[in-house]
A and B are shown apart, each in its own frame.
Chain A
């Protein structure tokens, strides 16, 4: 299940503040707990999912079902910087495919992939709502708009440390 290596150590004490915040386990708290856990670890380690299952008294199968349903949740570690190339309609008609192609070539990974040095993870997103600046990509929380293929490597360089 997932691709977290079984022997990996995960500091479960980090989950305690999350559990404290969601004491009431009855009312739909699974998704907020998962979101908070992912904020903590950057992804959802399997050991953390087991702990969440115990805390919420919910079968792990059900949790796994929820985790794999939503695009937001990740079972593998991600890079230091997350690049989200927008492929929404407005970006599409302003040639975002060119931008994604360039990102793929420059980073050498496909969407969903992480560079070997764990520096960048490349993702696509179906609209970040900055359509007026299309084509757009987000690097972490910064939006870069009016992109052109030849500007990509310079932008990536600014995140290289």
Chain B
């Protein structure tokens, strides 16, 4: 596991090339099935230990491999590599065995000895552990042939899940820091670098979609000797984990993008503001910064160019509003993270009053590719006004949860039904929520439109950071709107009245509706409040918080009306409008429901019909799940 190369300072672009060529042979096993063993290593086993896979138990898989390989005397010839997010979180714990790219899913520690015997020793795939195509039921050996991966276009996530994120050498072997070396040769002509960024058409991936090149230009031209750049890694949208996966899986790409940004903008210092809920991302970034500094790729006199740039990490302390750039800046300064009115824009007066440029993780991470391959290359992906690719986190009631990178302009239907594999348990698709608490939902009639910044705004949603939450027929859209409002209400900083009072007022109305206390006129009142808040709130959080309400009313008005006029929740989700009961004719008294009820609300003697005490019932639905065979319990 430990590497033999020692990190020593690089003083020129040529040094970087030498280092790259030194590392390449040891990674050849992953590219070429006929590669010669390097220092006796014949196999690489890549194990995804991203937050998702770790929760599914991937660390136990690592231990099992290390134990079994040692016992069989293979620990010198097989290298176990811990990788970041491979993307297909639903299949975790998952591994890839090189050579031959054999992909195993849903592993348990008991499977490991068989893999070592069959795959490592005999060179065969273990069929029962392979991914099985959902329709043909045929096992697939190479993950690249799986629809989930085949339909993606991974130009940003190219390393994510394929390299050891804690080893800078692996990044360098994959052309890492080559863009920086190229940029440094042009350090006296940063106009040309900026031109490439402008040409790429890259727009801010944090949600707003402001052209990145133009944003840089503003800060670059602002008067002042001292300038800062910031990476907004405060990924607070519930349901989004793209930035976390990138920081955990390929941290050096973010650093390289920021260093180049510093050079172009004329900043000598940068901050990464990362939420404290991402401890692994913070650890990996700290590690990456230390390695880059040792190699002379960051810090003083980068690659012997005479130019210096320093990076710091600031941990957030749990406030969603700090995703707003002025609030984020105040938080770095150690103050309450409250937004301030713009102008002045941070490009003129930002961190400690100095010109500051702020982009999110995905935006920065796109920069090395653009500088290395040129703006035209990047602009060859995507649509007329939205260039490049976008990373989405697929979650909710979707079969293939995970991380997907697709070119802009693909349809939502392709993302959900091809890459995402459709809806779990063969339920009916109802809507996809995009853009988190600031975004909106798209019903089936809207998912054939191309996904780009402008078409989403037209449809009443927004790109946001890229969280896609798919919901099926069992999800109540009124309750979903209520959920987002309760989130924004809690996260409102309280500085401006429209957001503080308005979100509370809208939440009260939504609470009433979902509790069966809605009144005629509530929908119109919500629409009026929403319009006013959008116009008058101080920052993005307040201005966008009515979006989930407006878009659910736009597409699912009938659900609001059913709650208000019939006092019914069509999806059967709003607990106050539901009661649970046992059909005494069907109940055989098996006691399965009684056993699982966490509230002790079910009573009855063996082999006699049971009853639910509605006063104790917390309406959790466990009993219905337990009574699948007999189907004696229902809610209405």
Contacts and interface: CB of A to CB of B under 8 A. Distances in A.
B335 A66 contact: yes
B390 interface: no
A132 B395 contact: yes
Contacts of B169: none
Contacts of B317: 31, 34-35, 70-73
B336 A129 contact: no
B332 A28 contact: yes
Given A65-B336, A66-B334, A93-B471, A132 B622 contact: no
Interface in B541-574: none
Given A89-B395, A126-B320, A130-B55, A149 B622 contact: yes
A154 to B, nearest CB: 11
Contacts of A18: none
Interface string B462-483: 0000010101000100001001
Contacts of B393: 131
A130 B405 CA distance: 18
Contact of A133 (B56, B244, B618): B56
B238 A126 contact: yes
A150 B332 CA distance: 43
Interface centre among B276, B480, B487, B598 (most CB of A within 10 A): B598
Contacts of B336: 65-66, 69
A97 B573 CA distance: 11
A153 B598 CA distance: 9
A143 interface: yes
B111 interface: no
A89 B436 contact: yes
Contacts of A34: 317
B555 to A, nearest CB: 16
B241 A129 contact: yes
Interface in B5-62: 51-52, 54-56
B598 A106 contact: yes
Range for the number of chain B residues in contact with chain A: 35 or more
Contacts of A69: 319, 336-338, 493
A152 B240 contact: no
B277 A129 contact: yes
Contacts of A130: 51-52, 55, 241
Contacts of A160: none
A31 B334 contact: yes
Nearest to A56: B334
Interface stretch (B118-126, B128-136, B187-195, B396-404): B396-404
A137 to B, nearest CB: 10
Contact of A89 (B51, B335, B396, B402): B396
Contact of A150 (B436, B575, B598): B598
Interface in B283-342: 314-320, 331-338
Nearest to B433: A89
A10 interface: no
B334 A132 contact: no
B530 interface: no
Interface centre among A93, A130, A148 (most CB of B within 10 A): A93
Interface string B383-418: 000000000010111000110000000000000000
Contacts of B244: 129
Counting from the closest, the 7 A-B pairs by CB-CB distance are A88-B238, A132-B89, A71-B318, A70-B317, A143-B55, A90-B395, A30-B334
